[in-house]
Structure 1
């Protein structure tokens, strides 16, 4: 990506703006769910139709991420950030002004496409906004502020819909988008140019749309109906095989095989799947087993983001001073411990018994997320930072979709009882333990690049090494 960081000063307002970008994008992913009943009433459509307001956002977000990452590696950071944030904001305003469901879904598709590109761009901007020794603190700030959008979506969405109506859940992005653009124009030096995506990128996006469409439909619509969702997910295999044969996929596949890149991506996938499993099962346990109201259950679950927010800055500071790889290892161990403590769910527990365990699991994610992000960006070649950010975003989104599917399948096969909830927590713990093993084997590159050597390109780093320069595979 064109443009380099100004390492003589730290631009923390720009880092905070990148956290706000992630906050906006994750908020819009979840806030719509609260408004679906109002949309169904106002547009006179069935619930199944309104679900495309959610899927219309998620599908392009996942499908365009990798192609967008390759495109971003060819353009300037500021040149891309300003129109992407502007496009995301404009699409949100169009969604709020939608006269019908078709218009709304189309606007959501545009929002999702811009969000997918922004998720790839944010890590590049955040890590280059500060001096190298503070990169983990920068990414930890982004990964602490950003996910609050997903956590706060139900509460924020409910308040907005009740007070002002559903269009305002989209209109609130207007001032936030203007603020981000203002910070970017002030804090980022001019760069460029901004080039249009090439035809091979558009073809890659089309193929990935087919693959991710089938996968998301399987994971989001069929989970919990026995094993039928696996058949829908299988429909994603042919387009994925086609993608692996495309020339456009070579850079992404080469990046994923690089030392020090494979493990962080796998860790993101497993962490997201474990977190999503816990967050999906916990409300059912609190309401069906303990008999809590939805509001009381939501309050207890806030312990997870509270632990994450408190531990996030600590993780960034530890990573910069103690080492990113060590901090990532600490985070995955604490996260696995937190989920393991939830396995013996019982009818005699109080909400506090679950809440403190959720806080431990949240602290593990807070310690892990930022340093792992920084580790991935440090190990990726300089000319593939956009693609590395895109791969990280894709792994996270797939994990968030896979976790509830696995959890509900285990719950369904056990008759939707307490035993099934325990099995689901056991699966989340197994993912955490697997993450510990993956990090232990491949959490740091086998052959770190020396500081006095010039940056290498993605093509050079992807070339096969001699047999004496062996790299352990994860």
Structure 2
């Protein structure tokens, strides 16, 4: 069934807010645990090599299950999908807090990541159907701004919770948040199609993508820690990716990426996220080596999310009134300039020298995120909205994992010298520049309305939506 005309539906801003809060919660749990790792390590009497899986156990399912989740979401109702993903994430959060041992804790984190993958894929879909096209940029900006804020707020909020309560409470706080999101979603969404069990092909697809992701991440990790020859481990990902592409489950993704103008925003998203995360990863190490106190390091890093918050909300208004692609390109240009300004990285640079540079990068990231996502959803065929949300989520998660890995590798190859840190920042600048090129080149392939981020999703493209958005 085709969606009704946009003039016949009301904007459901409560649904947008609930979606943004859910994304904030899930992104927060990706980073909030980092400050608790030493406490967890001491409490369970384990080594750091095992403790790191508390983080990896969450992030690997986000990559492995992003695309399978998108294909699944195209076949079920939005209300059912929201209730499943949020309730599953919330229950897994409680299981993490109650963990009697490290094996239980890591297993619960894997379950968290699995439901998180569905939630991240669902968020752009809910935002798209919640509002009329003429305000979609603002709606997407709200959700895409809250996500990064959750990620960068994690260590700060986690430290406060651990100081005044205990580490399990960093996960228990998800319970009231999850219940509120489910309540709003239940009231704002129609029943839609019921849930159905994934088929065997779904699990096979997840194993192939997950195996490729693990091979790539282990290759980058061992290259930085052991030696450059370990980069060959990444070759294991090649046959797994080939096998996935030959499976019927990849057809939806191939159809989506063959849509005119679709590849550029995906590549730009991956490259921009990797570049920004690499900078955020390196700056605290530089400041720590320079003798800056942890509190001042935290204050310095806050320049980025604050800039993202302000510019992200402005970007949504500009995208609705002007052109989403132009705002996206402007954003990645600003990101590139901001990172280029950090490349010299003098050994005497402290808070004052880095804070304004991080703010410039944050302004660019805020201008890019919402409009770029709105553009992708406008370009997407209607029957592939779930796949579009999943593919952008996967690009984002790969970028989040790739940024620190590439930065560490470049830094390690120099013997962890200042010159290696500058090389890593130059690599991040090149990635940001690549995102500019990707968006500019893809412009010719996209239609005028879709490129501007306006109109109904997949306008002019045949195919029913998974659920009537009215």
TM-score after normalising by structure 1: 0.92
1:147 match: secondary structure: helix
Kept after mapping to 1: 8 A contact 2:275/2:431: yes
Determine the C-alpha separation between the residues in 1 that align with 2:164 and 2:233: 39
Structure 1 residue 255: deviation in Å?
A: 1.4
Structure 1 residue 157: deviation in Å?
A: 1.3
Kept after mapping to 2: 8 A contact 1:27/1:152: yes
1:348 paired with 2:348, answer: yes
2:282 aligned partner: 281
Structure 1 residue 44: deviation in Å?
A: 1.9
Count of matched residue positions in the alignment of Structure 1 and Structure 2: 458
1:154 paired with 2:155, answer: yes
Moved more, 68-77 or 428-437: 428-437
1:321 aligned partner: 321
Determine the C-alpha separation between the residues in 2 that align with 1:113 and 1:411: 32
Structure 1 residue 70: deviation in Å?
A: 0.5
2:467 aligned partner: none
1:236 match: secondary structure: helix
Moved more, 111-120 or 248-257: 248-257
CA-based RMSD of the aligned residues comes to 2.2
1:431 aligned partner: 431
Structure 1 residue 330: deviation in Å?
A: 0.7
2:116 aligned partner: 115
1:170 paired with 2:171, answer: yes
2:342 match: secondary structure: coil
Determine the C-alpha separation between the residues in 2 that align with 1:42 and 1:414: 36
1:296 paired with 2:296, answer: yes
Kept after mapping to 1: 8 A contact 2:222/2:231: no
1:468 aligned partner: none
Kept after mapping to 2: 8 A contact 1:22/1:146: yes
1:211 paired with 2:216, answer: no
1:223 match: secondary structure: helix
1:92 aligned partner: 93
Structure 1 residue 294: deviation in Å?
A: 2.1
Determine the C-alpha separation between the residues in 1 that align with 2:79 and 2:12: 14
- Quickly say closer, same or farther: Cα 1:217–1:328, change in 2 above 3 A: same
Kept after mapping to 1: 8 A contact 2:215/2:234: yes
Structure 1 residue 49: deviation in Å?
A: 1.4
- Quickly say closer, same or farther: Cα 1:9–1:403, change in 2 above 3 A: same
Moved more, 30-39 or 175-184: 30-39
Determine the C-alpha separation between the residues in 2 that align with 1:217 and 1:444: 37
Structure 1 residue 432: deviation in Å?
A: 1.5
- Quickly say closer, same or farther: Cα 1:202–1:458, change in 2 above 3 A: farther
2:155 match: secondary structure: helix
Kept after mapping to 2: 8 A contact 1:87/1:111: yes
Structure 1 residue 169: deviation in Å?
A: 1.4
Determine the C-alpha separation between the residues in 2 that align with 1:350 and 1:137: 35
Moved more, 399-408 or 86-95: 399-408
Kept after mapping to 2: 8 A contact 1:336/1:432: yes
Determine the C-alpha separation between the residues in 1 that align with 2:390 and 2:404: 22
1:312 paired with 2:317, answer: no
1:416 aligned partner: 416
1:223 paired with 2:224, answer: yes
Determine the C-alpha separation between the residues in 2 that align with 1:28 and 1:342: 29
Determine the C-alpha separation between the residues in 2 that align with 1:106 and 1:444: 46
1:33 aligned partner: 34
Kept after mapping to 1: 8 A contact 2:217/2:405: no
Moved more, 253-262 or 360-369: 253-262
- Quickly say closer, same or farther: Cα 1:123–1:4, change in 2 above 3 A: farther
Structure 2 gaps, min length 5:
465-470
1:257 paired with 2:262, answer: no
